[in-house]
Structures are given as C-alpha cells and as structure tokens.
Amino acid sequence: MADMQMVAAAMSEPALVDIRALTKRYPEGERERVVFSGLDLCVARGERLAVVGRSGSGKSTLLNLIAGIDRADGGSIEVDGQDITRLSETARTLFRRRRIGVIYQFFNLIPTLTVTENVRLPLELNGMAAAPARERANEMLSCVGLAGRGEAFPERLSGGEQQRVAVARALVHEPLLLLADEPTGNLDAATGAHISELIVERAAAAGATLVLVTHDPALAAMAGRVWHLDTGEPEGVRA
C-alpha cells in the first residue's frame, strides 16, 4: 500500500522525462532495423522506474537516447523541460554533465585515475575547482562505504567496489536524473543485491529521479514502477 501511494504521489508531479512519438532506426547491412516507432513514456520527478524486456528490445538504446549519448530519428525527449533532440552534440554533452548521472554495467572507470580522481571528474568538467571537488568526491566515497580507498586505482578494487565508485561518480554532481544500465549485470548475486540497495538508497537521498534497465527481478522490484518494453505497452514499440 505504501509503495502504491508513493507511485501515485510521484505520478501527480510534472514529468521530469517526457518522451513523445520517439523513433529510432539502425542500418543492418542492406536493411533497416526499427528499434522504436512512436514510443511514448513519461517519468515523474522523484520516480523510480525499472525498464525491463527481452534482449534486443531496445532498453539500453532508450537510456542512451534519454542521456543524449545517441540521437533520435524522430519525436521528442524532454528532460526537465529541455527537448534534447533539438540540441547539438556539444550541447547534449554539456546538458548531460550538469543534469544526468549514468551508471554502466561494466563500471567505465578510467584505469589511470585514482578512485577519488574518477569520482571528482564530473565536478571538474563542470568547472569546480580541484580542492572542493576533492572534498566532495571524498564525501561521496564515504556515502558508498569506500572511505579511505580514494588513493587506490580501480584495478585494485573488487567488482562490487568498482560499482560503488561508479555510483559515487554518477551522483557526485547532484544530477536531477540517474540512469542505470544493467548495474548489477556484471556482479555475483550477493554483491548485486548490495549494489541494488545502494543505488536506490543513494538516489533517494540525493533526490534524483531513477530510471534503470535490468534483467534482475529483485532490482526491478525495488522500483516504484516497472515498465515492460516488449509487451505491447506502449503501442509502437518493437524489436
């Protein structure tokens, strides 16, 4: 009952992500593969949405489009009122740096940077000076249970620890929107469960809207809403 009330309250808020008539195609040899054709989706501010579906249904593509990493062929994607489909690649990059945090399955940490340097990188890219960026990065590392590991390099950490670093990096600049693409897919079950709880907990603490792609039923169950990409809802979605 509490979860349903939370979802209802979230859905009464203005949408943070508003996708309308989204179209995305990829060339495959001499043919064209339609990933999305007329997709509509709204995500309320503060909502936790899990996107599920079979492999190849376009889940990761959807996150890349919302993040502005990839570009739509048609339709609109508004994030916090900004239609990112109308932005240049440079403008989409700047928008993502300021408003969006992304967690990947394979961590995507920079191996030549220390843990602290990896986490503070988004802050420095947004123009924060080195000293306050380092302080903020160390605060976030404490929040994810990695206080004292800031000077280590990623290769010295376990997979679960590396994903904790990735969570800290994704949230350090206080994004409005957190996107997580199969964040537990490269971890064992026990570690994945801990990381799942951490992502949901830290997103809530930061006040970030969370959209996650997962095959993990336990992680999906932590979301306030589960959206099936390949079951005919909404109309127009096809593999």
pLDDT in tens, 135-158: 999 999 999 999 989 999 999 999
Is residue 230 scored above 80 in pLDDT? no
Q: Which strand (E) or helix (H) includes residue 49?
A: strand 48-52
Give the Cα separation of 206 and 189 in Å (integer). 26
Residues 6+ positions from 120 with CB-CB distance below 8 Å: 128, 130, 133, 134, 136, 137, 172
Mean pLDDT of 32-52: 92
Question: pLDDT averaged over the chain?
Answer: 88
Q: Which tokens belong to 26? A: 């990829």
Closest CA to 114 of 149, 139, 90: 149
Task: Please give the domain boundaries of the chain with CATH numbers for all domains.
Answer: 2-228 (3.40.50.300)
pLDDT of residue 55: 83
Is residue 1 scored above 50 in pLDDT? no
Q: Are 3 and 224 in contact (CB under 8 A)?
A: yes
Instruction: Kindly indicate the confidence band of residue 53, based on its pLDDT and cuts at 50, 70 and 90.
Output: confident
* Phi, psi at 181, each rounded to 5°: -105, 100
pLDDT of residue 12: 56
pLDDT of residue 57: 84
Q: Are 122 and 113 in contact (CB under 8 A)?
A: no
Give the Cα separation of 233 and 227 in Å (integer). 8
Instruction: Kindly indicate the confidence band of residue 13, based on its pLDDT and cuts at 50, 70 and 90.
Output: low
Q: Which tokens belong to 49? A: 């949405």
pLDDT of residue 140: 93
Instruction: Kindly indicate the confidence band of residue 231, based on its pLDDT and cuts at 50, 70 and 90.
Output: low
Q: Where are the alpha helices (DSSP H) in the chain?
A: 2-11, 59-67, 89-99, 115-125, 130-143, 159-171, 189-206, 217-221
The model's pTM: 0.88
